Chains A and B, each alone.
Chain A
Amino acid sequence: MTAYLVRRLLYAIPILIGVNLITFTLFFVVNTPDDMAHLHLGVKHVTPEAIVNWKRERGYDQPLVYNAGGEGIAKLTETILFNKSISLFAFRFGASDTGRDIGYDIRQRMWPSLAIALPTFLVGILVNITFAMLLAFFRATYIDVWGVVLCVIMMSISTLFYIIAGQYLIGKLWHLVPISGYDTGVDAIKFLVLPVLIGVVHGIGSGTRWYRTIFLEEINKDYVRTARAKGLSELRVLFRHVLQNALIPILTGAVVVIPSLFMGSLIMEAFFGIPGLGSYTINAINQQDFAVVRAMVFLGAVLYILGLIMTDIAYTLADPRVRFE
């Protein structure tokens, strides 16, 4: 197990290098730092000195890959590739284009992000599994058929609709919770209820359908028939046998969701004014702050790989037959 984990972690390194190469190419080769300076300062009416200044303040005045003017190791270290891309591996994110410390911002903003993403994820799984169990229990009846139709309809509604309708109904008409904003400590809960609720409701359609398929696949297997033949009640069959054996595909499904969790909370945070990583990214995109986008791409990739590894660990816990060679 340990050897497997170490190997997986080592395998992550070439992937992260690849991710960095992609962002480096996109941000420094396709568009030179001069282009970026022009974007911020304007194309016309801008002096060459202003551009040089802009680049020097942000450390974009070094050569891209190889610094012929440096001495010894500095030939390689005093370059954009080293300072802006390779340094990410040490989680040194540097300063944003507006001069703020990205690492500090990320440490501050990860807690609100977690506070919204984790409950959405966990409550979502719980709700989806419950509904899927219900549909599986009533399989091949009208409840099941109409449940699936309802799921397809819910899947077809845009996230934005859920958000706007939720904010309007619950926040504006009924005044149950504030429409947007954030607070520290326990007070944060009243700001978190609505985004988490909307996140869960939005996921019900696809989630329930997905889990229902898994359960129905399991329900037709021999061991379930044996369990029924023993005289176990349908509920006991569903919870003791089907649910436990469906855990593996459920876990796979959960990992598929992890990247979209990031995307989901991105929009939620922006709409509800929660100062998390998602709104940080959106602000960076809108202000065209490439340093922050670069850091977030790297961080996102790291989180994704961690998620994959954690799933593998969860596999062994859920199914003792799974062994890693």
Chain B
Amino acid sequence: MPFTPVVLTTDALLFLLLAAAGGYAWYARRREHLRAPWRQVARSRLGMMAAVVLCAYLLVGIADSFHLRLRIAQPDAQAAVRYSPEVLSLLDLATGHLRDAVEKTYSAPFAATLYVRETVTTPDGTVARVYPRLRHAATHLDDPERQRLGDVLATAATGALQGIALWALAVALLLYGLARSGRARWRTVLRQVARDELAVPWRLMLITAGVLIAGAFMLANLSFTYHVFGTDKVGQDVFYQTVKSIRTGLLIGTLTTLVMLPFAVLLGLVAGYFGRWVDDLIQYLYTTLNSIPGVLLIAAGILSLQVYMANHPQRFESFAESADLRLLFLCLILGVTSWTGLCRLLRGETLKLRELEYVQAATAFGVRHLGILTRHLLPNVMHVVFITVALDFSGLVLAEAVLSYVGIGVDPSMNSWGNMINQARLEMAREPVVWWSLLAAFTFMFALVLAANLLADAIRDAFDPRLRSVP
């Protein structure tokens, strides 16, 4: 094999999470009471638009989660198979041209030259201060000053056209699928979608997807010949860093939830159901954890991990592994600080449900505690879980940036928006200003968080029983 797969811990957990989500979808598919609120989410216009954007992020994140190590080419065919120590992901393979396109230092977006002057000796002996040409961008242009704008527009247009072609294919497939499942003629479906007559806002979703695909193709096409978002201090492509950061942001938002969910659900249910000393104990537990300011608990945890890693360097095979462990630990400790809110909500909800007739009836029929907890209480508090998880996601993504600034976020060698902002922050004091790193990181983060917020609102509206009862 030309490569060997590597499964980092966070990869495994992400796949586990996806499998759990898939399992839930399969389970809920045939149960009308579970499907109904999701169907309402699917009718929300803003919510579904946000969902399309989130899907785009998720695809990049998943592509970045299949890791592997390439085989080292050896001249001798008999030699033992050896693999490069560098851990790459599928996304890295697809964006290899960006990873290797390292310049000397800063360059602006779409620039053909560096951002700083250098002293150059021309062949005839004169010394001049000029902006040297970039090594990996706009190399095909003879006179960048004149040709650049036209070339950029042409490349972008080509990319956009390719994207639209792909999109049209996807739309055709979707219409075919809709027609098949609805047993309608595809012309009818096309008309319904175009006039937005279906319950699910397909037209809006397709337009969003179209814009995203065209934009992605445009950026990808441009990235072969330009640094679309410029380069940073050590000359790395900012576009590459931004895209690589997507996985970190997604993982922080989702793994934290995965880590805290079992504790929060179990303890919240048990506290509300059994009451008395169990309740007191669990309440004491979460009040104590809650009373430590979150950022300090995270600092304490991360500092402890740093001490541990500094003293046991031999336990970690590669940089990727230790960075991965730190990310996982950050998710763990973020989970510890954030499960208390959900736990308290679940306890309150269970307290209410415990007194309802159907639970009393189950008790009277002799159903065991475990049965009541899992069959009668858990499904009926799931809406609280969904709402909290959805609402927490965006906060976690934003928190990552702040924590990286304080120095207790993800590993400094890992690509993340927080690290990008942290490194670019000081450049605002430069004259002229280097703004592209900051803008790229903030824009990508903003789009993700805004989409998450909008979807979370749609989910809350659909699942909150207080809102549902209103006619």
Contacts and interface: CB of A to CB of B under 8 A. Distances in A.
Contact of B428 (A157, A167, A267): A167
B449 interface: yes
Interface string A250-277: 0000000001001100110010000000
B453 interface: yes
Contacts of A281: 296, 299
B432 interface: no
A168 B310 CA distance: 38
Given A23-B300, A297-B300, A259 B293 contact: yes
Interface in B326-355: none
A285 B303 CA distance: 8
B42 interface: no
A19 B300 CA distance: 12
B258 interface: no
B398 A36 contact: no
Contact of A156 (B287, B289, B306, B394): B394
B267 to A, nearest CB: 15
A18 B291 CA distance: 10
Interface string B388-421: 0000001000100110011110000000000001
A296 B407 contact: no
Contacts of B401: 158-160
Contacts of B293: 259, 262-263, 297, 300-301, 304
Contacts, number: 136
Contacts of B442: 157-158, 160-161
B341 to A, nearest CB: 9
A26 interface: yes
Contact of B300 (A15, A27, A167, A301): A27
Nearest to A258: B293
A39 interface: yes
A112 to B, nearest CB: 18
B79 interface: no
Contacts of B295: 262-263, 266
Contacts of A167: 428
**Which residue among B295, B310, B398, B408 has the maximum number of chain A CB atoms within 10 Å of its CB?**
B295
B307 interface: yes
A304 B290 contact: yes
B406 A282 contact: yes
Contacts of B288: 15, 18-19, 22
Nearest to B422: A160
Interface in B290-320: 290-297, 299-301, 303-304, 306-308, 310-311, 313
A305 interface: yes
B446 A158 contact: yes
B428 A172 contact: yes
A147 B84 CA distance: 54
A296 B304 contact: no
Nearest to A282: B406
Given A18-B288, A158-B442, A293 B300 contact: yes
Contacts of A263: 293-295, 402
Contacts of B3: none
A286 B412 CA distance: 13
Contacts of B450: 152-153, 156
Contact of B398 (A27, A30, A159): A159
A283 to B, nearest CB: 10
B114 to A, nearest CB: 23
A305 B450 CA distance: 33
A310 B246 CA distance: 42
A39 B307 contact: yes
A320 to B, nearest CB: 25
Interface string B142-164: 00000000000000000000000
Contact of B446 (A43, A156, A262): A156
Contacts of A297: 292-293, 296-297, 300
A272 to B, nearest CB: 13
B308 A30 contact: yes
A98 interface: no
A164 interface: yes
Nearest to A25: B304
Nearest to A290: B303
B213 interface: no
Interface string B437-450: 01000100110011
Nearest to A297: B296
B303 A38 contact: no
Nearest to B404: A160
Contacts of A185: none
Contacts of B375: none
B408 A285 contact: yes
Nearest to A161: B442
Contacts of A301: 291-293
Interface in A280-307: 281-282, 285-286, 288, 290, 293, 296-297, 300-301, 304-305
A155 interface: yes
B425 interface: yes
A35 interface: yes
Nearest to A267: B402
A26 B296 contact: no
B92 to A, nearest CB: 26
B15 interface: no
A172 B445 CA distance: 25
B398 A293 contact: no
A303 to B, nearest CB: 8
A48 interface: no
Contacts of A155: 394, 453
B310 to A, nearest CB: 5
B424 to A, nearest CB: 9
Contacts of A69: none
Interface in B437-470: 438, 442, 445-446, 449-450, 453-454, 457
B300 A267 contact: no
A159 B402 contact: yes
A14 interface: yes
B339 to A, nearest CB: 15
Given A159-B398, A160-B401, A285-B408, 4 more contacts: A15-B284, A22-B288, A152-B454, A157-B442
3 closest A-B pairs by beta carbon, nearest first, are: A18-B288, A156-B450, A300-B293
Interface of A: 14-15, 18-19, 22-23, 26-27, 30-31, 35-36, 38-39, 43, 152-153, 155-161, 164, 167-168, 172, 259, 262-263, 266-267, 270, 281-282, 285-286, 288, 290, 293, 296-297, 300-301, 304-305
23 contacts: A15-B287, A18-B284, A19-B288, A19-B291, A26-B301, A27-B304, A30-B304, A38-B307, A39-B310, A43-B311, A156-B394, A160-B402, A167-B428, A262-B295, A263-B294, A267-B405, A285-B303, A285-B408, A288-B303, A293-B300, A297-B297, A304-B292, A305-B291
